[in-house]
Amino acid sequence: MNDFYGVFIISCIAVLAPLLVRLPALALMPVVALELMLGVLVGPSVIGLVTSDETIKFLGELGLVFLFFQAGFEFKQNEIGLAPLRLGALAWLASFGLAIVFVGALYFAGLVRAPLLVALVLPTTAFGILIPVLRQSGDLDSDFGHYVLGSAAMGELAPLILASIALAQEKHHIHQTILSILFLAIAVGTIFFLTTMRSERLSEKIVNWLGDSEILPVRVSLLILLGFVALANSFGVETVVGAYTAGMAVAMLVRGTKAEVLEDRLTTIGSGFFIPLFFVASGVAFDLPALVTSPASLARFALFSLVLLVIRLAPLNLYKKALAERDLPALALLSSTTLPLVVAITYLGVRSSQMAPENATALVGAAIVTVTVYPALAFWLRTNPERTHPDGAIFAVSRSVADWFSAMASRFLTLMPESLNLKK
């Protein structure tokens, strides 16, 4: 009965959060941010209505898997464009290089035990989170949205691949490294095979075979998801890698065909139930007292929150020829928005004793800040100054911080060497 009670509370939050963002004072806040904050509120850190027991942890992991599955089948290279993806890759490499320098200094100071894992966490971007955020703001199909998604795709896919290899290396098992590379080879081979096999004729055969059933295609997609997740788990690879691969595999089968409507059904299932589970469960599991009662943890939290943004500010000059200058600070803020990979990598790092718990808590806390604050600031920065906004505390704070951040970003860009500019 207690398990059902916890799931009921989480379901209440999943319904309440979309209603709260309709309030004028919360209109700029992403739904996932409210789900997180309400999860912290009902969790052991505040009210204690829900505890992070095995059931809630499993549901949260299931939501995480579906989040990456959805991100996989919503990754549309042709719609994003080669230029945004190319710039996104260059920007991520620049941010990753800065993260290595920063974490290297922490490592030699004895503050981190797994420098490569922390360096991979810092430049991550939540592609799966930014899709509904951009859809909510109306920027999903704009040029700005494409460059944000290009940065996000590289900021999620590259760390996702490298983290699997890094975790295998940290275990000092050569055979695990080989298994991780083998699984990645299978994943890439599967995607390439499906790309070459896809045709309208094959799509018609699939549709005819499935018949008029609206249930069977969904079940087949979930079977593909669970199959890749189980295969990844058997290879010792993180389940989110298998989920992302499954999403891309399903997309290859249906995109551009009559079966493309399946994506809408899967998005409804994921965003309607599974994905809110992850965000609420993440809030419930977050140890707020451990963060706020320890000066060392607070210092790490403040430092990581700053670094998450600074390393994304560094490559902004790459976009000066592609986007308007007023869009660059918003791009940096949205590119800094992260959470799923931070939670996944820090969880695995602590479980394997490779990452210190205080660093994991500080990193997750900083990631929560990026989800709850950065998108709202980005929306504010891109808003037409003549547009009338509702009054409210969040808007007042957002305006003050956004003005400061815009001025800081402008000064930062003037200091960047012109050699970092890249033509569109």
Give DSSP secondary structure letters for 230-259. HHHHHTT--HHHHHHHHHHHHHHHHTTSGG
Instruction: Please give the average per-residue pLDDT across 179-199, as a whole number.
Output: 78
In whole angstroms, how far apart are CA 262 and each of 193, 198, 213, 277, 314?
21, 16, 11, 22, 39
| CA 3/CA 213 separation, integer angstroms | 33
Residue with tokens 């590119």: 335
Residue 322 has phi, psi (to 5 degrees) of -100, -30
Instruction: Please give the average per-residue pLDDT across 142-168, as a whole number.
Output: 84
Residue 197 has pLDDT above 90, yes or no: no
Q: Which tops the pLDDT comparison, 385 or 311?
A: 311
pLDDT digits (tens, 9 = 90+) for 89-101: 999 999 999 999 9
**Any residues with CB less than 8 A from the CB of 5 and at least 6 apart, and which?**
50
| CA 307/CA 304 separation, integer angstroms | 5
> What are the extents of the domains in the chain?
2-420
| CA 187/CA 235 separation, integer angstroms | 12
State residue 418's pLDDT score: 47
Give DSSP secondary structure letters for 127-151. HHHHHHHHHHHT-TTSHHHHHHHHH
Query: Measured on CA atoms in the order 311, 149, 363, 234, is the torsion positive or negative?
Result: negative
Residue with tokens 């691969």: 245
User: Using 50, 70 and 90 to split pLDDT, how confident is the model at 226?
Assistant: very high
| CA 240/CA 343 separation, integer angstroms | 11
Supply 130's token pair: 């930014």
Pair 283, 59: CB distance under 8 Å:
no
Supply 291's token pair: 């963060």
Instruction: Please give the average per-residue pLDDT across 16-38, as a whole number.
Output: 83
| CA 18/CA 34 separation, integer angstroms | 8
| CA 262/CA 187 separation, integer angstroms | 22
Secondary-structure breakdown of the chain: helix, strand, coil percentages, each rounded to the nearest 5: 80, 0, 20
Residue 203 has pLDDT above 70, yes or no: no
In whole angstroms, how far apart are CA 339 and each of 217, 224, 266?
30, 25, 22
State residue 213's pLDDT score: 59
Residue 95 has phi, psi (to 5 degrees) of -65, -40
**Any residues with CB less than 8 A from the CB of 293 and at least 6 apart, and which?**
none
Determine if the pTM surpasses 0.85.
no
State residue 23's pLDDT score: 84
Residue closest to 167 by CA, chosen among 341, 359, 345: 345
Instruction: Please give the average per-residue pLDDT across 286-295, as a whole number.
Output: 85
Top-level class of domain 2-420: mainly alpha
State residue 41's pLDDT score: 92
